[in-house]
Amino acid sequence: MKKLMPLLSLFLISFNIYASAIQGFGRVNMKGTIVETPCLIDTGSDDQSINLGVIPISYISQNGASQEKKFSIKLIDCQLVSSVNENIQWENFEVTFNGASKGNYYTVNGDARGVVLQIKDINDQTAVPGKSMDKIKISSGDMFLDYKIRLVADGSDVRAGDFHTIIIYKISYY
């Protein structure tokens, strides 16, 4: 039995060493922000990619713009009273879109030329770069902010090619 114990111990140690050799490793990156706002932006709405598709030059030349593409910003868990200070009553908010601009439009990058982007809300109010849109009354629960985006001819010759841009939005509560 005394001879068997060292052999059994050696076997168990070598098994643990073998098990350690095949362990995998990984990493989880996390991020977030703690905020005091009446609404949260849904994680599917904070970073969107909108594909306007393939647009013929002839369509823009004939109509002055492409067809509109709809997109939404979803606000969730909206509260009318501050969770930190009960004396603060949230009533309204404004949305401001920002990005590289030309007049009341957003410019695009890439090979395409002669077009700019236009954003409108469901009431056809144009989102002028850097300017707040009309105020919106906060409702408790979830809210959808619906918008339309399209390419608009800028008056110069339209040239075929890919295009892209980044437009950032900000929501100001009061």
Class level of CATH domain 40-173 = mainly beta
- Sign of torsion over alpha carbons 73, 76, 81, 83: negative
From first to last of the 174 residues of the chain, give the pLDDT tens digit. 455 444 444 444 444 455 556 677 788 888 887 878 899 999 888 889 999 999 999 999 999 999 999 999 999 999 999 888 888 899 999 999 999 999 999 999 999 999 999 999 999 999 999 999 999 999 999 999 999 999 999 999 999 999 999 999 999 999
DSSP-based three-state secondary structure for 126: strand
Q: How far is the C-alpha of 108 from the C-alpha of 117, rounded, in Å?
A: 7
pTM given for the model? 0.78
Tell me the backbone φ, ψ of residue 65, rounded to 5 degrees.
-165, 165
Q: Where are the alpha helices (DSSP H) in 25-167?
A: 57-63
Show me where the domains of the chain are located.
40-173
